């Protein structure tokens, strides 16, 4: 039997709240891992959000909680990019907040929630009214809360100019007696203390390193052919959304400098919620570099299935076993899920030295191909060597997996989550 969380006073039902729990974004994935551990410990996990693919019998779908709801988009547009807001905007925010707070009361009452876990809604102001509603709900009810913060306001340039400073100070994050704050990197932990005087616990993102990774099977064996690659092609996987902070132009430059026509850059995710300007830039860079890129977001889903026109849908974990190299040249990341996934599948990683990686991951001793904002000749030659030397790749895979098991396994999550639960409910 696998180890389980131990908390004798764990509430019977736990409520997760966010703008969405849907698909394969980082917040959704980490929330599911927490929920799996809490479920194994005997709790029933329930969900509230604006976009859900969670069990309907344990969910409360609230469209107004989604950050792309028309009313929310209207209110958000009035709060950022300018330094004053109209009285009408304040009334609009308050109206949305009160409606969402009513939904929170209904959610907690319906499922008899004993522990609330807001996921990123009290950290990054993608939905200001929702953050205010959750904050007021906690203040009014005193419900024990673990606020899981993935990204913060100060980490996104688009939130710098704002007419919502009062809201941000109140709820992003709030300072309330009943809240245990959890962050996913040590830099956020220090900034939270410096900016707000709030203590927090660093719980990194994790993977199930205790369970060996899946490999090539009867279902995914044809993936290369299905996406237009041959067995001789070198599959270079970029397993992220196509957004500017992912630094995908560096992956393109790497392939350009390597100059091997067998190398195909495979991009597994869509553009996301930050517009299409960067996608256009990437397409232009691909054309200028003269490399071949394959966009497969329409063929990658949360679970296996069939597209409307009868083609297979694969999971990201179906794609990883076929990869020869993983590129992860992000300018900024809250942590680094794609890095852990590459380590889990034993793949060499080309990684940019973004701040959280340098501080929390690199010192642990992982073997990687590194760069610092530019693709150097040394990085190119190291990549060429790794791709040509099977023994080095195998040695790296073993070492990196052992480090992942030690520092980023489910056991780490269980141990740290137990401490937070003990703080709220006692041993």
Collapse the DSSP code of 1 into the 3-class scheme (helix H, G, I; strand E, B; otherwise coil) and give the result: coil
Q: What DSSP character marks residue 172?
A: S
Flag whether pLDDT at 1 surpasses 60. no
Answer yes or no: is 227 within a domain: yes
Question: Do 187 and 280 share a structural domain?
Answer: no
Banded pLDDT at 2 (limits 50, 70, 90):
low
- Domain for residue 212, yes or no? no
pLDDT per position as a tens digit, 312-357? 999 999 999 999 999 999 998 989 899 999 999 999 999 999 999 9
d(CA 99, CA 92): 11
In terms of domains, do 278 and 174 share one? no
Rounded to two decimals, the pTM is 0.90
Specify whether 265 is located in the same domain as 134.
Answer: no
What pLDDT is stored for residue 274 in this prediction? 62
* Residue 215 lies inside a defined structural domain of this protein: no
* Same-domain status, 313 and 417: no
**CA 8 → CA 1, 11, 12, 39, 292, distances in Å?**
19, 9, 11, 14, 56
Do residues 188 and 247 both lie within one domain?
A: no
- Cα-based distances in Å from 9 to 5, 17, 29, 42, 421: 11, 21, 26, 11, 8
**Do 199 and 347 lie in a common domain?**
no
DSSP3 helix / strand / coil % (the chain, rounded to 5): 45, 15, 40
Query: What is the number of domains present in the chain?
Result: 2
Could you tell me if 25 and 57 are in contact, meaning their C-beta atoms sit under 8 angstroms apart? Answer: no
- Asked whether residue 190 falls in the same domain as residue 253, the answer is no
**Mean pLDDT of all residues belonging to the chain:** 95
pLDDT in tens, 34-63: 999 999 999 999 999 999 999 999 999 999
Q: Is residue 2 part of a domain?
A: no
**Which CATH number characterizes residue 415's domain?**
3.40.50.2000
Peptide linkage before 173 cis (omega within 30 of 0) = yes
Shared-domain flag, residues 187 and 244: no
**Do 280 and 341 have their domain in common?**
yes
In a domain, 291, yes or no: yes
Domain membership of residue 239 as a residue range: 223-407
For residue 272, pLDDT over 70 is answered with: no
HSE-CB for 12 with a 13 A CA cutoff: 3
Digit-coded pLDDT (tens) for 85-96: 999 999 999 999
**Quick one: CA torsion of 353, 357, 360, 361, rounded to 10 degrees?**
-100
Domain co-membership, 198 together with 238: no
Q: What is the pLDDT of residues 137-170, one digit of tens each?
A: 999 999 999 999 999 999 888 899 999 999 999 9
**408: Cβ contacts below 8 Å, ≥ 6 apart:** 204, 205, 206, 207, 209, 340
Q: Are residues 244 and 118 located together in one domain of the fold?
A: no
199 and 265 fall within a common domain: no
């Amino acid at each position: 039997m696998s180890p389980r969380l131990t908390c004798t006073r764990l509430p019977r039902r736990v409520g997760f709240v966010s703008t969405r729990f849907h698909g394969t974004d980082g917040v959704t994935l980490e929330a599911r891992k927490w929920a799996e551990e809490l479920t194994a410990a005997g709790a029933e996990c329930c969900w509230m959000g604006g976009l859900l693919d969670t069990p309907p019998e344990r969910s409360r779908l609230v469209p107004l909680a989604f950050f792309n709801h028309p009313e929310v988009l209207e209110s958000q547009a009035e709060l950022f990019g300018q330094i004053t807001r109209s009285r009408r905007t304040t009334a609009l925010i308050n109206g949305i907040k009160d409606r969402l707070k009513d939904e929170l009361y209904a959610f907690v009452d319906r499922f008899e929630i004993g522990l609330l876990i807001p996921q990123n809604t009290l950290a990054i102001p993608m939905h200001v009214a929702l953050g205010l509603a959750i904050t007021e709900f906690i203040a009014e009810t005193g419900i024990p809360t673990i606020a899981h913060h993935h990204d913060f306001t100060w980490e996104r340039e688009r939130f710098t100019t704002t007419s919502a400073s009062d809201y941000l100070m109140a709820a992003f994050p709030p300072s309330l007696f009943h809240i245990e704050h959890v962050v996913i990197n040590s830099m956020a932990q220090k900034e939270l203390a410096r900016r707000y005087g709030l203590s927090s616990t660093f719980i990194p993102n994790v993977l199930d390193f205790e369970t060996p990774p899946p490999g090539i099977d009867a279902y995914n064996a044809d993936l290369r052919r299905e996406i237009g690659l041959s067995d001789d092609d070198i599959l270079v996987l970029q397993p992220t959304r196509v957004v500017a902070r992912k630094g995908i132009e560096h992956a393109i430059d790497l392939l350009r400098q390597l100059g091997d026509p067998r190398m195909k850059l495979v991009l597994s995710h869509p553009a996301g919620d930050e517009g299409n300007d960067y996608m256009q830039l990437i397409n232009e860079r691909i054309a200028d570099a003269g490399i071949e890129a394959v966009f497969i977001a329409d063929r990658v889903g949360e679970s296996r299935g069939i597209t409307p026109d009868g083609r297979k849908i694969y999971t990201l974990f179906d794609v990883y076993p076929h990869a020869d190299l993983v590129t992860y040249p992000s300018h900024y990341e809250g942590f680094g899920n794609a890095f852990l996934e590459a380590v889990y599948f034993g793949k060499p990683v080309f990684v940019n030295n973004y701040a959280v990686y340098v501080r929390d991951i690199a010192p642990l001793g992982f073997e990687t191909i590194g760069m610092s904002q530019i693709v150097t000749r040394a990085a190119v030659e190291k990549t060429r060597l790794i791709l040509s030397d099977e023994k080095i790749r195998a040695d790296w895979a073993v070492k990196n997996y052992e480090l992942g098991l030690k520092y980023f396994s489910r056991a780490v999550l269980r141990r740290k989550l137990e401490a937070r639960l003990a703080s709220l409910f006692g041993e």
